[in-house]
Amino acid sequence: MEFLRPGARCDLERRGLGRHGVGLPYRRPHGRAVRGAGQLAPTPNLQIHANLGADWAPGTGQRTTRGGLACEWALNDTLSLIAERSRVSRLWTSRVGARVNLTPLISLDLSASRTGPQGMRGVVIGLNHEFSWH
C-alpha cells in the first residue's frame, strides 16, 4: 500500500492530548469529547478523510460515539467536490458540496445536507484559512 503513505495523516485534537501525549477526553462547557482524524490520498486528485470519537454528556456522563467518512475529488487547483456521511449524537447526516480555493491559503466551502430520519435539510457556507506553524 505504498500509494497511501505520502498522503496518510493521523491527528488527535490538541485539546484532547494529555500531559504525556496520551489522548484523553477534554472538558467542554457542555460535556467532554475525544476525537481522532485521518486522511488517505490514493491519487493526487482524490482524498479520503475519516474521523472517530466520543462525546460525554454533562451531568449524566452518557457516552455517544461520533464518526464520519468523506471523499474529496479535486477537479483542478481551484475546485473540489466533497461528499460526506457522518453520525453524531445518534443522528446520521449526508452532505454534498464544493470547495473553491480563493487563494493558496483561503478556501470557501458550500454544501447542502440532510440529517436524521425526517431528512432535515441544511446549508453550510464555510470560510477556511490555513495557518503556517513554522
Which pLDDT score, from 0 to 100, does residue 25 have? 47
Provide block-wise average pLDDT over 10 residues at a time, the chain (134 residues).
38 38 47 84 93 85 90 96 93 96 95 95 94 76
Which pLDDT score, from 0 to 100, does residue 57 have? 81
Which pLDDT score, from 0 to 100, does residue 45 have? 95
Query: Residue 70 is which amino acid?
Result: A
SS3 125: strand
106 with 85: CB under 8 angstroms? no
Which pLDDT score, from 0 to 100, does residue 132 have? 78
